[in-house]
Structure 1
Amino acid sequence: MEETLLTANNIWMMVCTGLVFFMHLGFSFLEIGLTRQKNTINILFKNVFIICIGLLIYCFVGFNLMYPGSFIGGVLPDYFIDLFGLSLPEDGLTTAYADGGYTYWTDFLFQGMFAATAATIVSGAVAERVKLTSFMLFSVIYVGIVYPIAGSWKWGGGFLDEWGFYDFAGSTLVHSVGGWAAIVAVYLLGSRIGKFGKDGKVNAIPGHNIPMATAGVLILWLGWFGFNGGSVLSADPGATSLTLVTTCLAAAAGGISSFISSTIMYKNYDLTMFLNGILGGLVGITAGADQMTPTDAIIIGLIAGVIIVFGVALVDKLKLDDPVGAIAVHLICGIWGTLAVGIFGAMAGMDQFLIQLAGVAIIGAFCIVSAFIILFTIKKTMGLRVSKEEELEGLDLHEHGGMEAYPDFRMNQH
């Protein structure tokens, strides 16, 4: 019976792993859709690089850094000996591992999909003006070191876990970790040429393919079934089904409240606000998806959708240029979702709220300092931003040999 249950649990976890992997296509579609055609190849290259290098670096060092069993036990020399690479433990394929939820190999692969997401969040925020080599170096360091250290404080059994800090699937540990780095990167990079006028006016730079962006958001919504559903860490029927229900309801509520709020403020039906509202609801529910009732989830989503509208406006007011709204979606709604655990659901209460607030502040301070050190060093050595000429003519032309995302095949017709 135990072996049968392990097999069922492990199959569910592998399906969820595939869904989280699929989210990288969603991120790619969303980013290229909300940016200009001349940078499409560049953005796709970054997203493909992130998942490839993310898995490799997480295998080499990140997984053991995030779950440092011997380090927690206080045996420092063993920790460094066992830090690099993957080594199957004796119970790694048995019901004794992870309470029979999944095997060691599935554990690594599922967690590895999460790791790359942190850098993907930054990719969208710095689109259209960051140097490719500089971004790739940042991704290696941030995914390889910063993300797993922050994750180890909760998911690795560290001090935040001991305090009672709760983050079910990563509103803070994934989304805000990426969001804090995004805001630092955007600040150090500066805005795209033409985004802000001399009079302080915000000039919209439309994306070139809104249907593609819409497809990206719907793919991300589908992928979130694995992102949150897999975070149950088993195929438990009650827990997984509740998690999928709360996830879906929060997404729907976030979209509705975002489009209504933006319509009231700007007197038009803005599809991009609608789409980001859906993502805001998804990020908002992620910290407590297994704790909430359907009504709680709807309220969290409704508030997240409003946060998106005001968050995007705030980012613009601060003269921070975020082409895809990553800061509002992943950082601000990530903070909201983490604090919501202390307001709604099974863990509500002032003590829990203060623990959640402390966790947000500690992770935020760590990520800001880490991201600033990495990015400022890169800026002063390699440089962060492409030249004015490269930005105006497009990164596809200058960094990818003129490769076009949509070549005109008619020129080759006879």
Structure 2
Amino acid sequence: MSVPLLLDTVWVLLAALLVIFMQVGFALLEAGSAHLKHAGHIASKQLISFATASLFFWAFGYAVTFGAGNEWFGTSGWFLSLPDEKGKIPVEVLYLFQLSFAAVSLAIAWGGFAERAKLIVYLLFGALYTSVVYPVVGHWIWGGGWLSELGAQDFAGSTVVHLQGGIAALIATLLLKPRIGKYGPDGNPKTMQGHNPVFITVGAMIIWLGWFGFNAGSTLGTKDGFFGYVALTTNLAAAAGVLSAWLAVYAMTKKADIPSIANGALAALVAITAACAFVEPWAAVVIGAVAGAMSVWTAVAIERMGVDDPIGAFSVHGLAGIWGTLSTGFFAAPHLVEYTGIGRPGLFYGGGWTQLGVQALSVLVAAVYVAVVSWAILWVMDQLFGLRISKEEEIKGLDRSEHGIEPEAVPQEASAAGKPATALRASAAGEAI
């Protein structure tokens, strides 16, 4: 193996590990956003999810995405039976890198299932999602499929990874219906605060770190140090997203809501993921700032529409994924398009409407495909054995019903302030429904 190829291989493997580490961030973010009685379940679900994705993307998903076939899906390479190409990164390393993306998309989808779904649903839907849902759109854009031939620009997955996950989450939360106590008799939403804002913040920071593997790793090499440029645009967008979300939520509530700020970072990262290799730094800031503020406004609007999306998966990943995909049609710079060899310049650089049209088409067909297939899978599962846990299980908590974890015995002695320790524990945990 030549030195340049060795460097490329090591870089892609390191990037894969960074993206896989994002699973830890998702576990913390989602568990912190939930009630304490569900937190262990949500964290363990992340472990089961990654294991499921690893096996089924190895057996089927990678072949459907990248195997030789037609413009709609790959039809060869099952169980990774693809030959190594001389002078190219080994297929085992490429599989780990692409697996990390598929697993993130699946983790996003789980946001719509939170605190309501049976554990078996995660296994079965995860297996089918990483075998026949995610890989098909991946093939259209990354595997040489028909959208790729049209010049679709999605450098690291605003459409392939995030839009797909966000749409699947939306379908799940619509089928599962709102959590108990989320809406009052008048139909107005009630605040169901997560039990641990520290987990939310640390989880978001871990995901931000892992995103450098996500975007910069998608260069698939170290030539010319271009991965550094991609890392720059990624970081600038995330920073802008944090501040714009902070300002947006403060303007609405006069409070610096922690989950909203964290989601602002993630929404900005989602949006820049398609555009990170195609836009200049100033445009990355604009893209991130718009996504951060948009994540706050759309989350409130969706909640008022009666849709209970516990961690804002659709607003943060679905809608920000749409904005990020469309943004290249506006902001793609000619010299970066020429360097990457993908698509055409954006509208603001005199490139006309063509690229924006291709990006809009990508959004439309991906959203429709994922919505229809996800709905069909979940509907069949619901008819066979039901998606949702019982009312009693939801009230007592999934930690107890699914995992046999009994509530910790808490001493009854009074605190220094004169309030019973049990009451303090319940208050801190945010256990009220």
1:324-368, Cα deviation, whole Å (9 max, x unpaired): 111111000000000001011223121100110011000011001
1:322 alignment counterpart: 309
Q: Quote the Cα distance in structure 2 between the aligned partners of 1:90 and 1:201.
A: 57
Cα pair distance change 1:237/1:375, threshold 3 Å: same
Where in structure 2 are there 5+ consecutive unaligned residues?
334-344, 348-352, 413-433
> Do structure 1's residue 22 and structure 2's residue 21 form an aligned pair?
yes
Q: Quote the Cα distance in structure 2 between the aligned partners of 1:273 and 1:396.
A: 26
1:6 alignment counterpart: 5
Maintained 8 Å contact 2:84/2:91: no
Alignment of 1:196-235 (within 5 A): 196-235=183-222
1:204-232, Cα deviation, whole Å (9 max, x unpaired): 11101110110000000000000001111
TM-score, normalising length: structure 2: 0.88
1:393 alignment counterpart: 396
Q: Quote the Cα distance in structure 1 between the aligned partners of 2:262 and 2:218.
A: 24
Amino acid at match of 2:83: P
> Do structure 1's residue 371 and structure 2's residue 365 form an aligned pair?
no
> Do structure 1's residue 136 and structure 2's residue 123 form an aligned pair?
yes
1:164 alignment counterpart: 151
Alignment of 1:306-345 (within 5 A): 306-345=293-332
Alignment of 1:136-155 (within 5 A): 136-155=123-142
1:49 alignment counterpart: 48
Alignment partner of 1:10: what SS?
helix
Maintained 8 Å contact 1:125/1:326: yes
Of 90, 100, 103 in structure 2, the residue corresponding to residue 113 of structure 1 is: 100
Q: Alpha-carbon deviation of 1:43?
A: 0.6
Of 145, 149, 161 in structure 2, the residue corresponding to residue 174 of structure 1 is: 161
Greater RCO, CA 8 A, separation 6+: 1
1:55-87, Cα deviation, whole Å (9 max, x unpaired): 111111111111121x1399x9xx75x442122
Alignment partner of 2:137: what SS?
helix
Maintained 8 Å contact 1:280/1:305: yes
Cα pair distance change 1:90/1:200, threshold 3 Å: closer
Q: Alpha-carbon deviation of 1:134?
A: 1.8
Q: Quote the Cα distance in structure 2 between the aligned partners of 1:89 and 1:410.
A: 62
1:89 alignment counterpart: 83
Aligned length: 396
Amino acid at match of 1:61: F
1:348 alignment counterpart: 346
Q: Quote the Cα distance in structure 2 between the aligned partners of 1:90 and 1:156.
A: 16
1:72 alignment counterpart: 70
Where in structure 1 are there 5+ consecutive unaligned residues?
none
Q: Alpha-carbon deviation of 1:238?
A: 3.5
Alignment partner of 1:343: what SS?
helix
C-alpha RMSD of the superposition: 1.8
Q: Alpha-carbon deviation of 1:268?
A: 1.4
Q: Alpha-carbon deviation of 1:186?
A: 0.4
Cα pair distance change 1:311/1:73, threshold 3 Å: closer
Alignment partner of 1:53: what SS?
helix
1:373-392, Cα deviation, whole Å (9 max, x unpaired): 00111111110110100000
> Do structure 1's residue 271 and structure 2's residue 258 form an aligned pair?
yes
Q: Alpha-carbon deviation of 1:139?
A: 1.1
TM-score, normalising length: structure 1: 0.92
Q: Alpha-carbon deviation of 1:88?
A: 4.6
Amino acid at match of 1:130: A
Q: Quote the Cα distance in structure 2 between the aligned partners of 1:410 and 1:317.
A: 40
Q: Quote the Cα distance in structure 2 between the aligned partners of 1:267 and 1:41.
A: 32
Cα pair distance change 1:209/1:334, threshold 3 Å: same
Amino acid at match of 1:72: N
Of 259, 268, 286 in structure 1, the residue corresponding to residue 246 of structure 2 is: 259
Amino acid at match of 1:273: S
Maintained 8 Å contact 2:33/2:197: yes
Q: Quote the Cα distance in structure 1 between the aligned partners of 2:362 and 2:203.
A: 31
Q: Quote the Cα distance in structure 2 between the aligned partners of 1:72 and 1:378.
A: 30
1:132-174, Cα deviation, whole Å (9 max, x unpaired): 1123211111111111111000101000001111100000100
Alignment partner of 1:50: what SS?
helix
Deviates more, 1:386-395 or 1:102-111: 102-111
Q: Quote the Cα distance in structure 2 between the aligned partners of 1:7 and 1:410.
A: 58
Q: Quote the Cα distance in structure 1 between the aligned partners of 2:49 and 2:234.
A: 26
Cα pair distance change 1:408/1:248, threshold 3 Å: farther
Deviates more, 1:244-253 or 1:312-321: 312-321
Maintained 8 Å contact 1:13/1:235: no
Q: Quote the Cα distance in structure 1 between the aligned partners of 2:71 and 2:260.
A: 47
Maintained 8 Å contact 1:342/1:356: yes
Q: Quote the Cα distance in structure 1 between the aligned partners of 2:404 and 2:8.
A: 47
Q: Quote the Cα distance in structure 2 between the aligned partners of 1:408 and 1:50.
A: 31
Q: Quote the Cα distance in structure 1 between the aligned partners of 2:153 and 2:284.
A: 16
Alignment partner of 1:342: what SS?
helix
Of 220, 229, 245 in structure 1, the residue corresponding to residue 232 of structure 2 is: 245
Runs of 4+ in 1 over 6 A off after TM superposition: none
1:357 alignment counterpart: 360
Q: Quote the Cα distance in structure 2 between the aligned partners of 1:12 and 1:209.
A: 35
Maintained 8 Å contact 2:61/2:135: yes
Seq. identity, % = 38
